[in-house]
Amino acid sequence: MKTVIIQYNAGNIRSVDFALRRLGEEPEITGDHEKIRQADKVIFPGVGEAKSTMEYLEARGLDRLIVQLSQPVLGICLGMQLMCEDSEERNASCLGIIPVRVKRFRGDMKVPHMGWSRITGLKSPIFEGVPEGSFVYFVHSYFVPENACSIAESWHGMGFSAAVKRENFYAVQFHPEKSGTTGERILKNFLAL
Amino acid sequence: MIMPAKRIIPCLDVKEGKTVKGIRFEDIRDVGDPVEMGRLYSQAGADELVYLDITASHEKRKTLPQLVRDIAANLNIPFTVGGGVSDLDDARILLEAGADKISVNSAAVRSPELIDKIARNFGSQFVTLAIDARKEQQGWQVFINGGRIETEKELFAWAREGQERGCGEILFTSMNHDGAKKGYAIDALDGLSRILSIPVIASGGAGETDHFAELFRRTDVDAALAASVFHYKEIDITEMKRYLSKQGIEVRI
């Protein structure tokens, strides 16, 4: 099985690579269209800013490539937000896979939402063996509102979507690569799809 | 209001690639391999780790990127690297090596725009402002270079400035409490978490389980950092978390 991690100008790609290697995978980090298209599993990670990241993807045609992929794709953090319609973060227009607008946390809560929060309402094979209310690690200032594609929820002052799925596209707002054994289980489940 | 779980963060001081723990910044005892130590802490229930290269500020050495790569390859929880991060390139090297966050301390006091630069380039979540301060007659004074040099800065004003410049967290160490094992600097930490809208990590003074309970009951800080009580196994993290949970404090078990 070949797993690729999409290479682009975002942080934490190395962390995802390391996490997969701890699970015995040998992922390739690449921006090459052909390699991405032929992979069995594609991981679309990311920490960073939405608008400049979209511009980077567009400049390399990766935006059009990603939406056409038919194998299981896992977006992580910014990767999840970029799968949405658009974002309040500098009004970025995103990939449009999940038909919802990404919003910024407002109110009294501390932002960024940084730390371990519970996930509930788990409904997908990627959460097999993960108990309701498990803790996972989040770092984000923008969130995906709950929507028809949500497969997990979390809370930070308000409920938000911790994971989404539409067809072959899966995405998580938290960082499975940093979420201890729970995160390892989720990554393993994705790789087993 | 549902908040993230309170984080328990062991701090590992690193000198020349080995883990040590400074007792009151002096008299250092070797306690092992930083990578193995980190993995053990993760298994023991730590939520996050902080690695501080304690030789960096003093001897102007750079934190070793190779060590950071080894840690990142082996650790399944987030970790922060600090000590000697003095410019954007230092930050970039550590990011590329796999650090989740870096902390800046002395260099940020000398040139505060370092915080803006790192936040702008790599995001607020990547930069923690670490502040060492000591309470004196006129108030809480900020110190740099591992507590050796007193500065003009005042704790609360500096923390607020750090937030405005874009740091994602404040890690405050009370030099009055550090090493004394008589509890955290509750009043100062309460003040900090009231005036800041970013997470606050408490450091300095942990000696027993009740000090953590007291911290989370009496302040809104997000995390508690400690070193020697975990290193010398005076406190078992999982046992302590069970205790905190019974007290109604949300922790990850």
How many domains, chain B?
A: 1
Q: Determine, for residues B1 and A157 on separate chains, whether the beta-carbon distance falls below 8 Å.
A: yes
Q: For the stretch B145-154, what's the b/e string if a residue is b when 16 or more beta carbons lie within 10 angstroms of its beta carbon? A: ebbeeebebe
Cα nearest neighbour of A109 on chain B: B197
Asked if A91 reaches chain B (Cβ–Cβ under 8 Å), the answer is no
Which residue of the set B47, B53, B70, B132 is catalytic? B132
Write out residues in chain A with pLDDT < 70, as ranges: 10-11
Cα–Cα distance, B202 to A42 (Å, whole number): 39
- Per-residue model confidence as pLDDT tens digits over B122-132: 888 999 999 99
**Mean pLDDT (whole number) for B16-36:** 63
B32: tokens are 């092992």
Q: Determine, for residues A19 and B4 on separate chains, whether the beta-carbon distance falls below 8 Å.
A: no
pLDDT band at B60 (very low <50, low <70, confident <90, very high): very low
**Mean pLDDT (whole number) for B153-181:** 96
Q: A5-19, A46-60, B47-61, B220-234: which range is least confident on average?
A: B47-61
Most confident of A2-11, B17-26, B112-121: B112-121
Give the pLDDT confidence score for residue B96 in this predicted structure.
86
Q: Determine, for residues B1 and A141 on separate chains, whether the beta-carbon distance falls below 8 Å.
A: no
- Chain A 105-134, residues with CB within 8 Å of chain B CB atoms: 108-117
State the helix-helix crossing angle for B155-165 and B113-122, rounded to 10 degrees.
30
Give the pLDDT confidence score for residue A1 in this predicted structure.
87
Find the chain B residues whose C-beta atoms sit closer than 8 A to any C-beta of A. 1-5, 7, 42, 47, 72-74, 76-78, 95-98, 100, 122-126, 168-169, 197-199, 222-223, 252
Q: List, in order, residues 6 or more apart from A63 with CB less than 8 Å away.
A: A54, A57, A95
Q: Determine, for residues B197 and A111 on separate chains, whether the beta-carbon distance falls below 8 Å.
A: yes
More confident residue, A47 or B89: B89
Cα nearest neighbour of A176 on chain B: B76
Q: Determine, for residues A139 and B4 on separate chains, whether the beta-carbon distance falls below 8 Å.
A: no
Q: Judge whether B1 lies within some domain.
A: no
| CATH number of the domain encompassing residue B169 | 3.20.20.70
Percent of chain B exceeding pLDDT 90 equals 69
Cα–Cα distance, B212 to B177 (Å, whole number): 14
Active site residue B90: no
Mutate to test the interface with B, among A110, A139, A154, A181 (most CBs of B within 10 A): A110
Give the pLDDT confidence score for residue A147 in this predicted structure.
97
Which residue range(s) make up the domain with B132? 7-246
From chain A, the residues in CB contact with B169 under 8 A are 114
**Residue B47 half-sphere exposure, CB side, CA atoms within 13 Å?**
26
**Which domains occur in chain A, in start order?**
3-191 (3.40.50.880)
Residue A52 burial class via C-beta count within 10 angstroms: exposed 0-12, middle 13-18, buried 19 and up: middle
Q: Is the pLDDT of residue B56 over 60?
A: no
From chain B, the residues in CB contact with A11 under 8 A are 95, 122-123, 126
**Mean pLDDT (whole number) for B215-226:** 97
ipTM reported for the complex, 2 dp: 0.91
Give the pLDDT confidence score for residue B55 in this predicted structure.
66
CB distance B248 to B226 below 8 Å:
no
Give the pLDDT confidence score for residue B27 in this predicted structure.
47
Beta bridge partners of B141: B134, B154
Q: Judge whether B253 lies within some domain.
A: no
Which residue of the set B13, B53, B70, B90 is catalytic? B13
**Mean pLDDT (whole number) for B177-189:** 95
The pLDDT mean for chain B works out to 90
Residue type, B119: A
| Min distance B78 CA to chain A CA atoms (Å) | 6
Give the pLDDT confidence score for residue B17 in this predicted structure.
76
Q: Judge whether B121 lies within some domain.
A: yes
Cα–Cα distance, B166 to B169 (Å, whole number): 9
Q: Judge whether B13 lies within some domain.
A: yes
